[in-house]
C-alpha cells in the first residue's frame, strides 16, 4: 500500500482573494509537522488550556498539538512544488511507534513531551529517517535568509518533542510549572502510532519580533503512512 497524499486543489493553495501576492508571501512561513494520535492531541490541548488559566501562558496553545519535523521556513516556492517533493520524500516510509517520554524542560522557556527516544532510551530511528527525508526535500526550497532555519535543531541536532509551553514561560517559573504538570500524571497514552503528517502555512505580521501575537495558520496538505500490516510498498 502506498502513502496517502491528500489536499485541496491548487487554486485553494493560492494567497487569499484580494491580497497582494508579494506582501502576502513576506508574511508567510511554512512548517511540516507530525500529528499525534487523537488521545495525545486531546491531552496536550487540555494542558495548553490549563497553563493559560493557571499561569497566563498562551503561545503554545496558538498551535495545534504537533511534533515539528521541519519548523518555520521562508520560501518563495509554491505549495504545489513543496507537495510534489514531499510526496517523493515520504514514499517508502511506513507508520511507526512513538514513545511518550513525559514532560521535560527544553531550553530555558519551554516544557515539552519527549518523543525523541524509544522505551529503552535509544533515538527513534524511523522518526529521524522521516526528518532527514523531509529536510532533503525542503531545504533546497528554503530562502538563504530564513532566520528560523539558521538556528533550528536539524539533522543530528534534531530532538523530536510535543510542546506544552514555550516562549512566554518565565524562566523563574519553569521548575514550578514542570512540577505542576508532572503532578497531573501521564499526558496521553504511553505510546502512539505516527502515521499522519501535515504541511502548514503560518502567517504573522512580525516574523522578526513577537510573531506569536499575530500568528494564524491553515493546513495545506496531508499525508498518511501505511501501517506495517499493509501490503508491501511498491
Mean pLDDT score across all residues of the chain: 93
Asked if residue 107 lies in contact with residue 138, where contact means CB atoms within 8 angstroms, the answer is: no
Q: How is the chain split among helix, strand and coil, in percent rounded to 5?
A: 35, 25, 40
Mean pLDDT of 61-81: 97
Largest Cα span, the chain: 53
Q: Is the pLDDT of residue 205 over 60?
A: yes
Q: Is the pLDDT of residue 92 over 60?
A: yes
Q: Does the predicted TM-score (pTM) go above 0.85?
A: yes
Domains and CATH numbers, the chain: 4-8+22-204+217-224 (3.90.1140.10)
Mean pLDDT of 81-107: 97
The fraction of the chain above a pLDDT of 90, given in percent, is 88
Q: Is the pLDDT of residue 234 over 80?
A: no
Three-state SS annotation for 128-192? HHHHHHHHHHHHHHCCCCCHHHHHCCCHHHCCCEEEEECCCCCHHHHHHHHHHHHCCCCCCCCEE
Amino acid at each position: 500500500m502506498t502513502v496517502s497524499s491528500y489536499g485541496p486543489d491548487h487554486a485553494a493553495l493560492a494567497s487569499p482573494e484580494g491580497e497582494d501576492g508579494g506582501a502576502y508571501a513576506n508574511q508567510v512561513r511554512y512548517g511540516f509537522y507530525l500529528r499525534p494520535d487523537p488521545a495525545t492531541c486531546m491531552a496536550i490541548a487540555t494542558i495548553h488550556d490549563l497553563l493559560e488559566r493557571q499561569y497566563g501562558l498562551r503561545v503554545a496553545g496558538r498551535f495545534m498539538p504537533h511534533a515539528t519535523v521541519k519548523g518555520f521556513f521562508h520560501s518563495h516556492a509554491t505549495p504545489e512544488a513543496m507537495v510534489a517533493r514531499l510526496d517523493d520524500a515520504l514514499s517508502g516510509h511506513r507508520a511507526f511507534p512513538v514513545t511518550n517520554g513525559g514532560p521535560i524542560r527544553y531550553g530555558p522557556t519551554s516544557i515539552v513531551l519527549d518523543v525523541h527516544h524509544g522505551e529503552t532510551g535509544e533515538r527513534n530511528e524511523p522518526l529521524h529517517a522521516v526528518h532527514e527525508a523531509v529536510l532533503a526535500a525542503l531545504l533546497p526550497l528554503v530562502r538563504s535568509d530564513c532566520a528560523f532555519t539558521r538556528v533550528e535543531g536539524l539533522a543530528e541536532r534534531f530532538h523530536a518533542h510535543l510542546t506544552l509551553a514555550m516562549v512566554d514561560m518565565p524562566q523563574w517559573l519553569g521548575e514550578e510549572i514542570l512540577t505542576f504538570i508532572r503532578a497531573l500524571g501521564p499526558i496521553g497514552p504511553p505510546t502512539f502510532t505516527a502515521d499522519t503528517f501535515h504541511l502548514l502555512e503560518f502567517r504573522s505580521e512580525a516574523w522578526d519580533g513577537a510573531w506569536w501575537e499575530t500568528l494564524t495558520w491553515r493546513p495545506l496538505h496531508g499525508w498518511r503512512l501505511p501501517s506495517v500490516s499493509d501490503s508491501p510498498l511498491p
